[in-house]
Amino acid sequence: MFRALLLDRQDGKFSAKIVSLDESALPEGDVTVAVAYSSLNYKDGLAIADRGKIVRSFPMVPGVDWVGTVESTNSTAFKPGDRVILTGWGVGETFWGGMAEKARAKAEWLVKLPAGTDEKWAMSMGTAGLTAMMCVHALEAGGVRREREVLVTGAGGGVGTIAVALLAKLGHKVVASTGRRELDGYLKSLGAQTVVDRADLAKPGRPLESERWGGAIDTVGSTTLAGVLAGMARRGTVAACGLAGGHDLPTTVMPFILRGVRLVGIDSSQCPMAEREAAWRKLAALLPDGLPGEALSTCGLGDLPRLADAIVDGKVKGRTIVDVKR
């Protein structure tokens, strides 16, 4: 038997309960894993709080990422004892996810823990780390130069925190945008040189403002992304990965046709394996010690219903690791 947070909908009534399940309840897959940790991401918050159409079929174990040790497998790619990470691929949405002591998955979804890292490090990064790294790769591919400022929106959240830390480590002049000005010191400790108020970015403005950002990582969408695009310098690149502020994009074509701005979409869930493995290796190389203590919290399965609302409301700072044994 193993413990799991189980989401269900019976007669239209939603529930999120910790239950004890038999291993025979696990869905099909060729690798069975003892999960060590999962982590709390925005999408998990939407699923657990029943605030977005994330879960495709019930009952569902949420958790879009996890790390654990292979217990049994009929795949030749892994053996019992291997330590593996899973992020995305519809896990926690269509397939049972990581908020449980056991999980079963397809071998082709799994990444081996990078050398020199451990399970806590893996979930301090999780889906947020992979996404932030993919955003940084997109800026590098766009030729973003270090002389110009690079903006990160939603900087106090999970993806934002890791994006600030990565860009600072790479020597960029990082500007962090936040709605929580009490996080100024925190964001500077991660490596941001300047902190701006998110209200200034999101307010209605002209289609083109003065050129400021050489690159930007946007986790917010909507009027914030529109404001980011208007302030991009010529030939700058924006990596758009999130919608914490809304999924609309009220903008014009001006930044694209008059300044050659590039808008690159980031989808970590279906990221091809070679790119995924390279991103994990680079994360381990750039942030081998993980995140500072202030950026990390740990919770148990029972804390998740409360924290789910908090993350969707933008009240969670940095990353939250889920200890599935707690």
Ligand X SMILES: NC(=O)c1ccc[n+]([C@@H]2O[C@H](COP(=O)([O-])OP(=O)(O)OC[C@H]3O[C@@H](n4cnc5c(N)ncnc54)[C@H](OP(=O)(O)O)[C@@H]3O)[C@@H](O)[C@H]2O)c1
* Residue numbers at the binding site for ligand X (CB under 6 A): 41-43, 127-128, 131, 154-160, 178-180, 198, 219-220, 224, 241-245, 266-269, 311, 314, 316
Smallest separation (angstroms) from ligand X to the CB of 44: 8
Smallest separation (angstroms) from ligand X to the CB of 263: 13
Kindly tell me which of 23 and 248 has the beta carbon lying closer to ligand X: 248
Kindly tell me which of 159 and 233 has the beta carbon lying closer to ligand X: 159
Smallest separation (angstroms) from ligand X to the CB of 100: 20
Smallest separation (angstroms) from ligand X to the CB of 281: 18
The residue sitting closest to ligand X, measured at its beta carbon, is: 157
In this structure, the number of other CB atoms found within 10 A of the CB of residue 113 comes to 19
Kindly tell me which of 29 and 157 has the beta carbon lying closer to ligand X: 157
Strand partners, 8: 15
Smallest separation (angstroms) from ligand X to the CB of 224: 6
Kindly tell me which of 41 and 73 has the beta carbon lying closer to ligand X: 41
List of E strands, the chain: 2-10, 13-21, 31-40, 65-73, 83-87, 102-105, 111-112, 149-152, 173-178, 194-197, 213-218, 232-240, 262-265, 296-300, 319-323
Kindly tell me which of 137 and 235 has the beta carbon lying closer to ligand X: 137
Taking alpha carbons only, the member of 120, 114, 68, 128 closest to residue 29 is: 68
Alpha-carbon distance 139 to 127, whole Å? 19
Taking alpha carbons only, the member of 33, 36, 30, 38 closest to residue 87 is: 38
Smallest separation (angstroms) from ligand X to the CB of 180: 4
Kindly tell me which of 110 and 176 has the beta carbon lying closer to ligand X: 176
Smallest separation (angstroms) from ligand X to the CB of 320: 8
10, 213, 287, 309 from 257: Cα distances, Å: 51, 17, 37, 40
Return the HEC string of 72-109: EECCCCCCCCCEEEEECCCECCCECCCCECEEEECHHH
**What is the residue type of 53?**
K
Smallest separation (angstroms) from ligand X to the CB of 54: 10
Kindly tell me which of 169 and 180 has the beta carbon lying closer to ligand X: 180
Smallest separation (angstroms) from ligand X to the CB of 12: 26
CA–chain centroid gap for 255, Å, is 27
**HSE, side-chain direction, 13 A CA sphere, residue 171:** 5
Kindly tell me which of 92 and 214 has the beta carbon lying closer to ligand X: 92
Kindly tell me which of 25 and 316 has the beta carbon lying closer to ligand X: 316
Q: Contact 70/140 with Cβ under 8 angstroms?
A: no
Q: What are phi and psi of 238, to 5 degrees?
A: -115, 130
Q: Which residue is it, tokens 């190389």?
A: 285
